[in-house]
Amino acid sequence: MRLAFVAMETTHHSDGAGTHRFERIARLLAKRGHEVTLFCGQWWDAYDDTFVVDDLRYCGVTLGTAISSFCTRLPALLAAYNPDIVHVRSDPPEQVLASLAGSKLARAPLVVEWFGDVELDETARRTRWAASKPDQIITPSELVRTQVRELGASGDQTRTIPESIGYDRVTDVEPAEEVDVAYAHPLDGSANIQDFLLGLAELRERDWSATVIGDGPKRSEYEQEAADLRIDDRITFVGACDRERRIGIYRGAHAFVQTAYREVFATELLWALACGCIGIVEYQAESSAHELIENYERSYRVTNPQQLADAIVDAGNFEFQTSAETWRAYDHDAVIEQYLDTYEKLGKQPVKQGQ
């Protein structure tokens, strides 16, 4: 298939989770043999309009990321490319409308990737048009899908496709030293590590150990809070770790606790579950984390620090594991099949691998 991906800003411009997901999808499809071009603001230092990295072809629509120029030039470029599918990020919504114009010229269906990690003006007409005009909108969770439907998208128009992981990496990494509980999140205002620490403090008289992964503006504040609760001698703050070290920590942990206020998709929880951890999720109205463990036996859903403490104790009833085959369903290859299925249902012709 010939696939046109559209994102004015790529990972070379910003480091958001949604940006990484969008580019990863394009790259995985390109590695399968599909012809994929990502139309973006040019980020490479060369006179050429195109640049290829890891099988993915980037096409510079503009020099830089001026939204008006980008949207003016985009429709004609998409029409000339003549794609089978146009796949665009929801942010900014102006590029969705420009992609819609281009997809009509190319007579190709429009798919919008609505990750939900960027706040959009829900009252703006352009945002509601971006939610109501595409042929298909893909979200990472039911939480985000509900938000998009509230903006005007229909049920048939939306589909949830989860984040993906490289499952085989799990068994390639040796487990780290065993700990009872692991936690991972940027240590910012949305981390809600307070509930995690309060839950651990309820178990002060028991023997346990915990590892906190993450760094951020509130790290020193959270470390001080652990000291004030007199549990800092059993908690190790390891800072921001690379993926290999995180996998090792998760494989050595018995349980993983998720308390963050906001998660459009709980990717670290997914990695931890794949590494055999028991999932303990505190319900939050703006987090989708509970969706992952809804039908998973090795898990607990809680609503306050006392229930969290009880779940940590009860987790001892489950055997220690260093991997869980169930989560292979979230491997990159398995998830990319869901994208291909979406394209096939929308496209001009059936999708065949490598075509």
pLDDT higher at 334 or 51? 334
Confidence of residue 348 (pLDDT cuts 50, 70, 90): low
Please, is 152 exposed, middle or buried when counting C-beta atoms within 10 Å of its C-beta (0-12, 13-18, 19+)? middle
Say whether both 280 and 189 belong to one domain: yes
Confidence of residue 353 (pLDDT cuts 50, 70, 90): very low
Please say if the pLDDT value at position 46 is more than 80.
no
State what percent of residues in the chain have pLDDT above 70. 97
Q: Is residue 355 part of a domain?
A: no
Say whether both 257 and 120 belong to one domain: no
Bridge partners of 42? 63
Half-sphere exposure (Cβ direction) of 97: Cα atoms closer than 13 Å:
13
Tally the domains of the chain: 2
CA dihedral defined by 318, 323, 324, 325, rounded to 10 degrees? Answer: -150
Q: What is the pTM of this model?
A: 0.94
DSSP 138-166: EESSHHHHHHHHHTT--TTTEEE----B-
Quick one: average pLDDT of 176-185? 97
Say whether both 197 and 318 belong to one domain: yes
How many helices (H) and strands (E) are present in the chain, helices listed first?
Answer: 13, 16
Q: Is 324 helix (H, G, I), strand (E, B) or coil?
A: coil
DSSP 4-57: EEE-SS-TTT---HHHHHHHHHHHHHHHTT-EEEEEEEE-SSSS-SEEEETTEE
Say whether both 179 and 268 belong to one domain: yes
CATH number of the CATH domain containing 276: 3.40.50.2000
Q: Which of 67-71, 115-119, 251-255 has the highest mean pLDDT?
A: 251-255
- Residue-number span of the structural domain to which 312 is assigned: 168-327
Task: Judge whether 342 and 111 are in contact, CB under 8 Å.
Answer: yes
Say whether both 156 and 173 belong to one domain: no
Confidence of residue 351 (pLDDT cuts 50, 70, 90): very low
